[in-house]
């Protein structure tokens, strides 16, 4: 396979006869899409778009949640050499308008009434005629100026026999642009990352042999396909014949795992952290006897995992771990469907305690690391190459090194062509020797394992000159049951403080009845949070400890511009909005450095 157009033919030939290649739950019924229907849908849409003038290099936007039709549009465009522009399904109208204008998208596919209204509100500002296509016929807006995906596919289906698929796959080369993916960014307007067919394919092929997956596997796809992580992983699944079930959002995943029973999955740490805290919370409500059994089992699991890493598990430890599996771990794994062989965590750092927990119970989480600009994977853990706290080793074809200031630099066949219409920004991150400056700080050990410390721009320098990475501290804080979100403060101040968001849904029943604004000042909640902060402080060096904190009355949200679509905190926005609260934590202390 050299291009993503080749992937369509590969799916047709290597997954032939599959009755459930893709599936999705709509209402109470699970709809299944066979290989033949999927390939026919891709082929038909490509023909219809070509008949309507879509040309190689033309930009086509996709504004939808995860569903089989997302890949239908994406792969149809790849057959034509059109450039797909994915939009996060939760973007606000002004963000949608910016991306559509900046990319010059001439076709826009959308799903859902709310997204349709967002597109409609921005059409006048595009400065050019734009064809709009609703995924579902019933969502097509009145006025007759919109198409539906079903109608376009029907147009192309009439010409399937006269225009064979084989004649469509040689239009693109590995050097051709495949997609513009706009980085969410924690500051400023998003930048369009130009990824070629060769970028994607090189990443898929490099990861192909890292994990044993195939036609007997079923994957749960719920991270937004607009993000390069899930999208590249899904390309890998399609290449390897893995069936995919789509979930439209991460909130629907827990019940779906019980019915779909996936064997593999990928997620950001948020899902695993919530699962971990839910287990710990349930245990705390059990009788003292059951709590002792749980602690005993967890200790056995941790000792067994450590012994296995050393290469020898004694007979007594083996028996103890087997008993722990029967008494405790099997019940926990049943909540993931009971068939999960392994899962991959990416997009952000996974808390060390969370990783240790899953390793102990026998659910292996492999961490990975990459960026949109590298399509995306640079490093990943894999069987026989796991080290807790690291993100694994460089994948085949990738070269990593650490700059003098600690920044991670990379060379990769997946490295982007550059930022769309922004050569200055491109020159800032790709140096003359071809090294991509990731903006992340970390280190490589003697065995080649990469550990991420923090974002370079997020490093805090106290007034005493201490350089502190806030993200590891924030990970420890949100691993505590009462804390859902944390923003560590201290740049230019003498010590660290934190803005904390309570985990409202995990609070005792008597506290959940209170309004959030009241809760932020509640003494009982303040006591719970203080215990959690002190538990974290005991794990930190003196200069890293949180000396003061304040509770926020609501979660940081995408709608308010406080987090990115990939759940990263926009630190500058949060700090600017809570300057008075931050000042109150330092009393008469003044910030001495901007």
- Assess whether the previous peptide bond of 357 is cis (omega < 30° from 0): no
Distance CA 87, CA 468 (A): 34
pLDDT of residue 145: 60
232 CB-near residues (< 8 Å, 6+ apart)? 200, 203, 204, 207, 375, 376, 377
Mean confidence (pLDDT) of the chain: 91
What is the edge-to-edge ordering of all strands in the sheet holding 496-502?
483-489, 496-502, 546-551
pLDDT band at 185 (very low <50, low <70, confident <90, very high): low
Window from 120-124, 137-141, 185-189, 419-423 with minimum mean pLDDT:
185-189
Calculate mean pLDDT across residues 441-459.
90
Q: What percent of the chain has pLDDT over 90?
A: 67
Residue 552 predicted with pLDDT over 70: yes
pLDDT at 97: 94
Of the chain, the percentage scoring pLDDT greater than 70 comes to 95
Q: Which of 562, 557, 560 is CA-nearest to residue 573?
A: 562
- The model's pLDDT over 295-351, given as tens digits with 9 standing for 90+, comes to 999 999 999 999 988 889 999 999 999 999 999 999 999 999 999 999 999 877 787
pLDDT at position 459, please? 82
Q: What is the mean pLDDT of residues 351-374?
A: 92
pLDDT at 592 exceeding the cut of 50: no
143: pLDDT strictly greater than 70:
no
Task: Give pLDDT tens digits for 574-584.
Answer: 999 999 899 99
Q: Determine contact, residues 35/12, Cβ cutoff 8 Å.
A: yes
The confidence score (pLDDT) of residue 14 equals 97
Q: pLDDT by residue (tens digit) across 484-501? A: 999 999 988 899 999 999
pLDDT digits (tens, 9 = 90+) for 390-448: 999 999 999 999 999 999 999 999 999 999 999 999 999 999 999 999 999 999 999 99
Longest dimension (CA), the chain: 79
Quickly tell me which residue has 């019933």 as its tokens.
138
Confidence of residue 141 (pLDDT cuts 50, 70, 90): low
Task: Give mean pLDDT, residues 208-237.
Answer: 95
Predicted local confidence at residue 396, as pLDDT: 97
The residues facing 455 across adjacent strands are 440
What whole-number distance in Å separates Cα of residue 362 and Cα of residue 351? Answer: 17
The per-residue pLDDT for 525 is 86
Q: Give yes or no for residue 565 having a pLDDT over 60.
A: yes
List residues bridging with 564 in a β-sheet.
none
Tell me the mean pLDDT in the region 102-130: 89
pLDDT tens digits for range 32-53: 999 999 999 999 999 999 999 9
Provide the pLDDT for residue 184. Answer: 67
Q: What gap in Å lies between CA 90 and CA 250, rounded to an integer?
A: 13
Distance CA 243, CA 563 (A): 32
pTM: 0.85
For residue 248, the model assigns a pLDDT of: 83
103-112, 244-253, 514-523: least confidently modelled range: 514-523
pLDDT band at 187, cuts 50/70/90? low
Q: Please report which confidence band the pLDDT of residue 594 belongs to, taking 50, 70 and 90 as the band edges.
A: very low
Q: Provide mean pLDDT across the span 550-571.
A: 82
Between 78-82, 439-443, 464-468, the lowest mean confidence (pLDDT) is in 464-468
């Amino acid at each position: 396979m050299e291009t993503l157009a080749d992937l369509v033919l590969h799916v047709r030939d290597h997954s032939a006869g599959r009755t459930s290649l893709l599936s999705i739950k709509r209402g109470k019924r699970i709809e299944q899409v066979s290989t033949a229907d999927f390939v026919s849908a891709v082929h038909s849409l490509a023909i219809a778009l070509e008949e309507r003038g879509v040309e190689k290099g033309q930009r086509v936007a996709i504004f939808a949640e995860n569903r089989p039709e997302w890949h239908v549009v994406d792969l149809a465009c790849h057959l034509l050499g059109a450039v797909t522009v994915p939009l996060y399904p939760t973007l606000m109208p002004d963000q949608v308008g910016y991306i559509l204008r900046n990319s010059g998208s001439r076709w826009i596919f959308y799903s859902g009434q709310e997204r349709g209204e967002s597109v409609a509100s921005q059409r006048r500002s595009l400065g050019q005629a734009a064809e709009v296509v609703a995924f579902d016929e019933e969502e097509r807006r009145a006025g007759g100026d919109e198409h539906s995906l079903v109608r376009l596919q029907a147009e192309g289906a009439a010409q399937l026999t006269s225009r064979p698929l084989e004649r469509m796959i040689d239009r693109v080369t590995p050097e051709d642009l495949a997609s513009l993916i706009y980085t969410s960014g924690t500051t400023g307007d998003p930048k369009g990352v130009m990824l070629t067919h060769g970028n994607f394919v090189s990443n898929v092929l490099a990861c192909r042999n890292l994990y044993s997956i195939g036609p007997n596997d079923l994957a749960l796809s719920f991270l937004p396909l607009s993000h390069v992580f899930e999208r590249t992983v899904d390309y890998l699944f399609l290449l390897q014949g893995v069936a995919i079930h789509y979930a439209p959002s991460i909130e629907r995943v827990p019940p779906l795992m019980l019915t779909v029973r996936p064997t593999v999955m990928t997620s950001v740490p948020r899902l695993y952290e919530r699962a971990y805290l839910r287990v710990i919370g349930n245990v705390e409500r059990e009788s003292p006897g059951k709590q002792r059994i749980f602690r005993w089992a967890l200790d056995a699991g941790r000792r067994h995992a450590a012994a296995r890493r050393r290469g020898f598990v004694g007979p007594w430890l083996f028996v103890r771990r087997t008993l722990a599996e029967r008494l405790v771990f099997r019940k926990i794994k049943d909540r993931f469907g009971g068939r999960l062989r392994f899962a991959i965590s990416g997009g952000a750092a996974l808390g060390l305690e969370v990783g240790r927990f899953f390793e102990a119970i026998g659910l292996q989480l492999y961490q990975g690391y990459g960026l949109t600009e590298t399509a995306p994977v640079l490093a990943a853990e894999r069987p026989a190459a796991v080290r807790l706290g690291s993100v694994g080793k460089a994948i085949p074809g990738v070269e990593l090194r650490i700059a003098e200031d600690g920044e991670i630099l990379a060379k990769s066949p997946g490295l982007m062509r550059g930022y769309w219409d922004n050569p200055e920004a491109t020159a800032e991150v790709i140096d003359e020797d071809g090294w991509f400056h990731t903006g992340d700080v970390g280190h490589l050990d003697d065995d080649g394992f990469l550990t991420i410390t923090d974002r370079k721009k997020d490093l805090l320098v106290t007034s005493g000159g201490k350089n502190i990475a806030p993200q590891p501290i924030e990970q420890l804080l949100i691993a505590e049951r009462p804390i859902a979100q944390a923003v560590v403060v201290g740049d230019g101040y003498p010590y660290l403080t934190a803005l904390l968001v309570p985990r409202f849904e995990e609070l005792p029943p008597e506290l959940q009845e209170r309004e959030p604004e009241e809760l932020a000042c509640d003494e009982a909640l303040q006591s719970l949070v203080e215990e959690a902060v002190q538990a974290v402080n005991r794990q930190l060096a003196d200069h890293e400890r949180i000396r003061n904190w304040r509770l926020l009355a609501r979660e940081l949200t995408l709608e308010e511009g406080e987090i990115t679509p990939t759940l990263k905190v926009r630190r500058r926005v949060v700090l600017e909005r809570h300057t008075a609260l931050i000042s109150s934590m330092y009393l008469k202390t003044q910030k001495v450095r901007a």
